A and B are shown apart, each in its own frame.
Chain A
Amino acid sequence: MDFELTEDQETIRKAVAGLLRDFDDRYWMEKDRDHAFPEEFYATVAGGGWLGITIPEEYGGHGLGITEATLLLEEVARSGGGMNAASAIHLSIFGMHPVVVHGSDELKRRTLPRVADGDLHVCFGVTEPGAGLDTTRITTYARRDGDHYVVSGRKVWISKAVESEKILLLTRTSRRDEVAKPTDGMTLFLTDLDRDHVDIRPIPKMGRNAVTSNELFIDELRVPARDRVGEEGQGFRYLLDGLNPERMLIAAEALGIGRVALDRAVAYGCDREVFGRPIGMNQGIQFPLADSLARLDAAELVLRKATWLYDRGRPCGREANTAKYLCADAGFTAADRALQTHGGMGYSEEYPVARFFREARLMRIAPVSQEMVLNYLGSHTLGLPRSY
């Protein structure tokens, strides 16, 4: 066993932390308050060459693994930017994986270098009002029309759609009742979000307000066949490849929020004096924070194991799901305790812990709920009968 990060990995951590030092609490508070995309932050990360961390070198990226990508996103969240920061770049970091693996050379040449240098914003269009995690029930339909497809349907919870030029869009090209397996008949596209045919409506929400979450109404959107990723009908299979890394990235972001929330709580516990002594001297404050430290450390180890397995091409479903479950829980609990440590001031937006709390709560729901993780572990790992 080796618990050391490599020299390169340590460099990533330090470099990212240094790069983001200037984006302080006020910056993120204002972006969140104003529902404004963090353009300056995005430009800085892109300018540092970090967006293409996992994109192959031949397409302008660094070709690094998921371990490095999780270190990057953890550090981004930990910088104090939390989910506002992480979500602004999340899809660029690993979202192009289906295109990298299954896209045509032409599609890759056309899109990946622009993603890597930050010029191209992409969002991810899978979930629908009638099909949350039950992806095979999507109904957005792509009808073939010569060398184009014509797409109509609705999508919901599409992060960053307002800011995106393109969408990685999952559609049905055969209806569910026309295929042998429910997972058949779905097709993936990387195509333009043509505003003349896609109405994008941001959803008012509890947190992470610098990056929009949207409902999309797609009406006769014409998609060139060359924007199709891989073969027709195989879209669901292409997405599956990315599910485990997606859980790991979210786990890393949750971990980063938990770490920064804990750091702020400790600082406040040392500074704030009540009854003539620092409040951190009270066991009622100190023990929950110490407990959170232990939980974050344990969750981090599972995450490291998961990314290590993935980067070696080994099965990692159990570890990816467990990492997401533990990091989301540890991150939220740390944020909750940080807020409690701050007392009334924690409820004020003057301190960042309220923002961390709102954002960390999301990680217990997205991209997969904690309950669905337990479903996975219960049926796939423990071998119990599937419960849903």
Chain B
Amino acid sequence: MQTEEFTLVRDMLRSFATRHRVGSADEVTPRTRAAARQALDELGLAELRRSSPPAATVQECALLAEEHGRQPLTTSLLGTALLAPELSRLLGITAPTSLPTIALARDLRFPAQHPSPLVAWDCDAADGALHVAPDGTVRQVALGPPTRTADLLRSVRAVPDDGEGEIVGRLGAEAGQRWQSYALVVVTAELVGAVDAFVELSTDYARDRRQYGKRIGSFQAVQHLLADARVLVEACASATRYAAWCLDHEPVDRALTAARVAKAEVNTSAVEAVYTGMQVFGGVAQTWEHVAHLYLRRVLVGADLLATTADLLTTLAEPAPDKSSPADTGALTPTAAEPETIR
């Protein structure tokens, strides 16, 4: 995308986000969800990764995911506009007839081999979900009733256990790695947006809030907390943007490593930075009416999403695959470098 074109797309998304952000948990209603859903749909962002080559780079998609994460939004930009279309593209499906999201394991990690308990994640507006098994087989599964996670904004639905699901394609080894990398990058980018915005909110609060006749931001102890949090956010953003860049420019194995590093960084640093922000807000951040807990919930659940820190560090600690070994057979897993379950 040309710079001007991307800027225009990002500004549209920013404007949408500002208009449809929820001001508190009480504002999350079917009506506000529907209005936001329709407004997002009108932006047509699902087309960005539909074609081959895609209209938007991974870096651009990651920046849009960041933008979406900055505000408390109920819309499923990731599931229905950025992730499922990319999966369809990798499978060569150019004209999908439905609007799926992606299916994850019940614990919100990358799913295990079929059949296994699943949920449809980030499924606002979705009519189905795509399940990528560790062997690369992709099935479209049906949606069951809504289910709750600690993230009050995110739509998640059960996937009926009895549904076999229709096989829609199979990812080869490289496409499978590309899919994992992309999913990790996009999900991580949204968390980066959330933590960046929340630290900004808490910094603004420290500028305004007065105690003992002074702005609390004038106290070194508060300043240093926020400076530390800012450093954490920068580390998260840098790792994530590098991983996105790798997907656009580097071999997929390097991109997958970068994506895992980014997610591992965000899993710990983003949570820590949000804790810091909440400490700066003090008591007000503990109230139901305040948006702080919406950010906290998003980041806490996000830290377990797709791959936990334990999953990632274990995988990153493994020796690099032997490049001299015979070419793989096209299956996504398992290999020495890939445990049976994709993490």
List residues of chain A with CB under 8 Å of any chain B CB.
282-284, 287
In B210-261, the 8 Å CB interface with A consists of 219-221, 224
List residues of chain B with CB under 8 Å of any chain A CB.
219-221, 224
What residues of B have a CB within 8 angstroms of the CB of A287 in the complex?
A: 220-221
Sorted nearest first, the 5 A-B pairs with minimum C-beta distance are A283-B220, A283-B221, A284-B220, A287-B221, A282-B220
- The smallest C-beta distance from B103 to any residue of chain A, in angstroms, reads 35
Q: What are 10 contact pairs spanning A and B, CB under 8 A?
A: A282-B220, A283-B219, A283-B220, A283-B221, A283-B224, A284-B220, A284-B221, A284-B224, A287-B220, A287-B221
Q: Chain B: interface secondary structure?
A: helix
- The smallest C-beta distance from B60 to any residue of chain A, in angstroms, reads 40
Q: Within the assembled complex, what's the spacing in Å between the Cα atoms of A287 and B219?
A: 11
Q: Within the assembled complex, what's the spacing in Å between the Cα atoms of A284 and B221?
A: 6
- The smallest C-beta distance from A309 to any residue of chain B, in angstroms, reads 36
- The smallest C-beta distance from A353 to any residue of chain B, in angstroms, reads 21
What residues of B have a CB within 8 angstroms of the CB of A283 in the complex?
A: 219-221, 224
What residues of A have a CB within 8 angstroms of the CB of B224 in the complex?
A: 283-284
- The smallest C-beta distance from A167 to any residue of chain B, in angstroms, reads 42
Q: Within the assembled complex, what's the spacing in Å between the Cα atoms of A282 and B221?
A: 9
Q: Within the assembled complex, what's the spacing in Å between the Cα atoms of A252 and B37?
A: 64
Q: Within the assembled complex, what's the spacing in Å between the Cα atoms of A282 and B219?
A: 9
Chain A's closest residue to B224 (CB) is A284
Q: Within the assembled complex, what's the spacing in Å between the Cα atoms of A347 and B219?
A: 28
What residues of A have a CB within 8 angstroms of the CB of B220 in the complex?
A: 282-284, 287
Q: Within the assembled complex, what's the spacing in Å between the Cα atoms of A284 and B218?
A: 12
What residues of A have a CB within 8 angstroms of the CB of B221 in the complex?
A: 283-284, 287
Q: Within the assembled complex, what's the spacing in Å between the Cα atoms of A287 and B223?
A: 13
What residues of A have a CB within 8 angstroms of the CB of B219 in the complex?
A: 283
Given contacts A283-B220, A284-B221, 8 further A-B contacts (CB under 8 A): A282-B220, A283-B219, A283-B221, A283-B224, A284-B220, A284-B224, A287-B220, A287-B221
Q: Within the assembled complex, what's the spacing in Å between the Cα atoms of A283 and B220?
A: 5
What residues of B have a CB within 8 angstroms of the CB of A284 in the complex?
A: 220-221, 224
Q: Within the assembled complex, what's the spacing in Å between the Cα atoms of A287 and B228?
A: 15
- The smallest C-beta distance from A264 to any residue of chain B, in angstroms, reads 22
- The smallest C-beta distance from B196 to any residue of chain A, in angstroms, reads 24
- The smallest C-beta distance from A293 to any residue of chain B, in angstroms, reads 16
Q: Within the assembled complex, what's the spacing in Å between the Cα atoms of A283 and B214?
A: 15
Q: Within the assembled complex, what's the spacing in Å between the Cα atoms of A364 and B221?
A: 28
